[in-house]
Chain A
Amino acid sequence: MDTETRPETEPETDRRAIIRDAIGIGVATGAYGLSFGAISVASGLSMVQTCALSLLLFSGGSQFALVGVLGAGGTAVAAAGTAVLLGSRNALYGLRLAPLLKVRGIKKAGAAQLVIDESTAMAVGRDSGRAARLGFWATGLSVFVLWNLGTLLGGIGAQALSSPEALGLDAAVPAAFLALLAPRMRARQPWVIALTAALVALAAVPFVPAGVPVLLAAAAATVLVLKGRAK
C-alpha cells in the first residue's frame, strides 16, 4: 500500500494520493457496512440499536460478533464480552499510533473512536508524521461516515424482508467471520489456536448458556499462548 513513499514526490501529490486512498477504503468499508446493517436487523436488533452500534462501537468485527451472539440467544454479558475481547487489538493499534498522532484532550477523545484496522494501516509506515496524521484522520473519517451510511441502508433493506432465513442471511454471518479470519491464517500458530478454539466452543455448546462457548474458546486460546512461551 505504500506506493507513495518515493522520496522525491511533491508533498501536494502525496496529500492527494493519501486522501484518494482513504476515500477508496471508505467506499469498500461502506459496502461491508451494508451487510452489517442487514445482518444486525435480521438478528433481531432494531434500526436504532443497529445504527447506535455503528456510531458508538465502530469496530466491524466486534459489531458482527455482538449481533451474532445476541442473534443466537446469548446474554448481554456474553455478547458485550465477546465484542470487547475482539476489540482488544485496537488498544495495540493505539499504542503504535500515539507517538505519530500526538493528540491530547478533546482531540484525543475523538481520535480514539477512529482507532480501527483501516486507519492504523493507513497511518503507520509513512515517511513523515504529517503523512501519518493525514492517513489516520482521512481514513478514519471516511470509513466512519461511509460505514454508518452503509449500516443505515443495509438495515433499511433488511427491514423490508419478511424472512431473513429464506435469503440465507444467517449463513452470511459465519461467512463474514471467515473473511475476517482468513488473512490471519498465514502461520502454523494461528491454525493451532483456531482449531483448539473451534473444538472447545463446539464441545461446550450442549452444556453452557448461549454465548459462553465463544468466551471459553478465548480462555483456552489464552492458556495455549501463555503455555507456548518457549517459542
Chain B
Amino acid sequence: MAKLDTPALEQSFLNNHGKNPIRAWLFSTDHKRIGILYLLSIGFFFLVGGLLGGLMRIELIAPGETIMDPQTYNGVFTVHGLIMIFLVVIPGLSAVFGNFFLPILIGARDVAFPKLNLLSWWLYIFGAILAISSQFLGSGAPDTGWTFYAPYSTETGSNVVLAVFSAFVLGFSSILTGLNFIVTVHRMRAPGMTWFKMPLFPWSLYATAWIQVLATPIVGVTFLMIVAERLFQIGFFDPSLGGDPLLYQHLFWIYSHPAVYIMILPAMGVVTEIIPTFAKKHIFGYKAIALSSLAIAAVGYFVWGHHMYTAGMSGTARWFFSFLTFIVAVPSAIKVFNWVATMHKGSITVRTPFLYTLAFIFLFMIGGLTGLWLGALATNVHLHDTAFVVAHFHYIIFGGMGFAFFAGLHYWYPKMFGKMYDEKLANVAFVIIFIGFNLLYFPLFIIGMQGMPRRYADYLPEYTGGHFWSTMGAIVLITGALLMIYNLIIRTRKKGTPAEMNPWGGKSLEWTLESPPKEHNFDEIPTITENPYNY
C-alpha cells in the first residue's frame, strides 16, 4: 500500500513522510487513515467471522455430529454473530467509507472531531480484544447467541460477562462515530452546499448517525443490567429473582432493530452514489431518496416488537407492531423504484462496482420481500425462529450491506489506494460470490418454511437436502471472496496500474481530488452551486 512509485503517491495521505509508520498510522487523526484502519480491522474480522460461519455449515452438511459437538456449535454461532454484528456490519460502511469519504464528499478537510474519531477506532479495537478474550478467558466461550436472551444469559455458566461488556465498549465506539458525523454534516459542509445539494451517501450517514447516538445507549445499559444480574443477583430479567424476561427482549430490540438500519442505510447511500455515476444520469427523485432515509430511521424505532410476536405480548401489541412493520417497508420500496428509474434512459457502462450494485438491488429485494413474510402475523408464527429468518437476515445484511460494501470497495478503491485492480478478475470473483451467496442462503428459506428451527446443532433427516446445498454454497462463496481479496490486495500490489483521478467519470467531489488524495484533501475548499448528479 505504501509503495511510492507514482508522483501522486508522493504527496498523498499514504506517504508517511519518514515518520515511524506504525505511529503514523495507529495514532493518525487523518479521517482517511482512520477509514483504512477500520477497513483492515473490519476486513480481518469479516474473514474470522466467515471462517466460523463456514465451520458451522460444515457441521450442518449432514445430520449427526460432523466436526463439532453441540456445545462447540453453540459457542461458534454465538461468536460468529458477535463478531459479524458488532465488529463487522454495525461499524461497516459508516466507519470505513463514511470516515474516508464523508468529509471529502461535503468538501471538508476532516471530520469535526478528529481526535474523537481516533478514539472511536481505539475503542473498537479494545472492544474487539475483549470480545475475542471472552472466548478464551473464564469459564468457557459464551453460548447464548448474539442476542443474549435472559434468563439463559444470566444463568449459563459460560463467560457472558466479558462478551456483553465487549459489546458495551463497542457501543461507545459507535456512539462517538455517530456524534462526530452529525456535527460534521451540520457544521463542515463546503460553502454553498445546502442540505439538498449534499450528496446522498452523506444523507444516509446522517440518518444512520442519529440512530447510533439515540439507540445504542439503550443496549449499552441493557448489557450492564445483564452484568449486574449475573454478578450481584439484581433481578431485572430472571423471574426467579423477581425480574421479567420480556423486559430484556424489549430493551434489546429497541436498539437491535434500529441497528439493522445502522447497517443497511449507509449501504443504500453507497449504491445511490454508484448508480448515477455508471448511468451517467441525474439520480431519480433526489429528495425522495434523502427523505426516505430519514423516514426509515424514524419509523424504524417503533417496529422492534416484530421480533417478539410469539413471546407472549398482548394481542394488541402484536397487531400494532405488525402494522408499523409494514409501513417501514414503504420507504425502502421508494428507494428501489428510484434506483431503477435512474437507469431509465441513462447511458450505462457495466463495470465491477455497478455489477455489485445490480446484485445488491436484487438480493435486497429478496431480503425485503421475505421481511414482509415475517412481518405478517399469521406467517410469522410459523416462520419465527426458523432457518427462514436466518436466510432473510443474511439476504438483507450480507446480500444488502455486504454487497454494497463490495460495490463501494471496488468503486472507491482506485481513489483510496491510487491503484486500479484487475477488473476482469474482479468480475469473475463477483460471479462466484453471487452464485455462492444464493446457493448458501436460498435453501434456508425452503427448509425454514418446512419447519427447520434456527440455532440447531443437529436436525431431522428431512432437512438434509437443503443443508447440503447450503454448505456447497458456503464453499463457493468463500472461494469467490478469497479470489476478490487476492485481486485487491496481492495482485494489485504487484500489477495494479496507477489510477486516474476520475476512473468512472463521477461528478461528486472525491473525483476532483488526486488518487490517492492529499493529506489535507483540498488545496482550496470548493464552492458548491449544485448537487453532484448533473450529468
Same complex origin of A and B: no
- Report which A residues bind B (CB closer than 8 A): none
